[in-house]
Amino acid sequence: MAAAPAVPLLINLGGSLLGFAATLALIPAFKDRFLAARLFGEDLNKASRRPIPEAQGVISGAVFLIILFCFIPVPFLRCFVEEQCAAFPHDEFVELIGSLLAICCMIFLGFADDVLNLRWRHKLLLPTMASLPLLMVYFTNFGNTTIVVPKPFRLLLGMHLDLGILYYVYMGMLAVFCTNAINILAGINGIEAGQSLVIAASIIVFNMVELNGDYRDDHIFSLYFMIPFFFTTLGLFYHNWYPSRVFVGDTFCYFAGMTFAVVGILGHFSKTMLLFFIPQVLNFLYSLPQLFHVIPCPRHRLPRLNPCTGKLEMSYSKFKTKSLSALGTNILKAVKFLHIVDVRSGTDEDGEYTECNNMTLINFVIKLIGPTHERNLTLLLLLIQVLGSTIAFSIRYQLVRLFYDV
């Protein structure tokens, strides 16, 4: 960036700390307004069904945007107050503005989803539309679509490969994946904000380690976004932790996913960023049969509360055995054989129905450890997220030598 990084980063950190305090204060202050607007839901995993404000990610997202809007001139102060700036860095300025535009679009579209309760096909379309400013910034500032081929494939493909338009398709799909990957690993108090905090902290650590490397400016750019995101999300997490006083809503999931996509794409470390999504990737792969409706998928796949024990148990999808396609039947046989899904056949008197647990990482963990308290389940899933980041760092700095020259 144009200015020495220490001063902008310190200003960014100061603004982020103010954002943390603002998020803590604003969420309870706006609680009654959300309830009056009927933006609330019930916690299905609690005995008491009191209304809880939803879509609170719009508050943390708004605070995040205010911090970065005020921060826009800071990286370019040298060009305003000193004569040493030979030319204004328009490419860096466009990069910053385009990133904020993409995130702002995603917050708006996420809030529209919370209000209008859109269908899943729309949930895939929204991130695609919001990523267009991001792709245009990449095209105008960089335009490089050539990748370094991993060692095992170099005899076949050569040292470098130009993907052309496929690279932009990859970046668009990355934005869609990041937003929805957080959205489908949800349903218990604190999990959406908690997993985002761990991912953000991992990216911040990675950026700090790489500040002395060849791509220093890219990692400084990433820190400008990740530090405010971490602290505003921390404020939201405080209110969303068990027992949750607010729900983050799809607004936060879209906001978080697009922020990660922005820094991964424009910071040129999208492969490393995906490594921090290991639990989300596993959850996505495990969920595929239900996401594509090969196995019937209910609207809510969150665990169910056993009111007698106060613990969460696996939730199930119930369907007529004959309604399954041949593919669905074979998948069900395979997952039952592998013992990764609990399948119950002939659950009614006539034996026409089959049940299987909903295919989410949350239900899979319950399958492994048995019924557990919601708070303990969230803690365990966050520990899995931390373990995923540990594995990601090991791959990035150790196993990478098997695939690339470093």
Q: Residues 98-124: pLDDT tens digits?
A: 999 999 999 998 998 889 887 777 777
Q: Is the pLDDT of residue 82 over 70?
A: no
CB 302 within 8 A of CB 287: no
Average pLDDT over residues 185-193: 94
pLDDT tens, position by position, 145-172: 888 888 888 888 888 888 899 999 999 9
* Beta bridge mates, 406: none
**83: pLDDT confidence band, cut at 50, 70 and 90?**
low
Q: Are 85 and 2 in contact (CB under 8 A)?
A: yes
Mean pLDDT estimate for the chain: 91
Residue 156's CB: how many other CB atoms inside 10 A? 7
Tell me what pLDDT residue 53 has.
95
The mean per-residue pLDDT over the stretch 184-212 comes to 95
pLDDT value at residue 133: 87
Residue 403: other Cβ atoms inside 10 A? 14
Q: Note the pLDDT of residue 2.
A: 44
- State the pTM of this model: 0.94
Q: What is the DSSP letter of 305?
A: E
Q: What pLDDT was estimated at residue 150?
A: 84
Identify the band that residue 349 occupies on the pLDDT scale cut at 50, 70 and 90: low
For residues 63 and 103, the answer to whether their CB atoms sit within 8 Å is no
The pLDDT value given to residue 117: 81
Residue 198: its pLDDT value, please?
98
DSSP, res 244:
P
CB 200 within 8 A of CB 386: no
Residue 297's nearest CA partner among 286, 306, 305 is 286
Residue 208, number of CB atoms within 10 A of its CB: 12
Give 7's contacts (C-beta < 8 A, 6+ positions apart).
Answer: 74, 77
Check pLDDT > 60 for residue 79: yes
User: How buried is 215 (Cβ within 10 angstroms: 0-12 exposed, 13-18 middle, 19+ buried)?
Assistant: middle
Please compute the mean of the pLDDT values over residues 47-55 and round it to a whole number. 89
Of 135, 137, 140, nearest to 171 (Cα)? 135
Higher-confidence residue: 371 or 349?
371
Q: How confident is the model at residue 84 (pLDDT cuts 50, 70, 90)?
A: low
User: Rounded CA gap, 197 and 229, in Å?
Assistant: 9
Mean pLDDT of 213-218: 88
pLDDT at 11: 95
Note the pLDDT of residue 278. Answer: 96
Rounded (to 5) percent helix, strand, coil in the chain = 65, 10, 25
pLDDT at 406 over 90: no
Residue 67 contacts residue 15 (beta carbons within 8 Å): yes
Q: Percent of the chain, pLDDT > 70? A: 97
Instruction: Please tell me whether residue 318 adopts helix, strand or coil conformation.
Output: strand
Cα Dmax for the chain: 85
| 42 sits in which H/E element | strand 40-42
Grouping H, G, I as helix, E, B as strand and the rest as coil, residue 145 is coil
Assess whether pLDDT exceeds 70 at residue 248: yes
pLDDT (0 to 100) of residue 191? 96
pLDDT at residue number 81: 65
Looking at per-residue confidence, does 346 or 360 come out higher? 360
Cα–Cα distance, 87 to 126 (Å, whole number): 37
What are the beta bridge partners of residue 146?
162
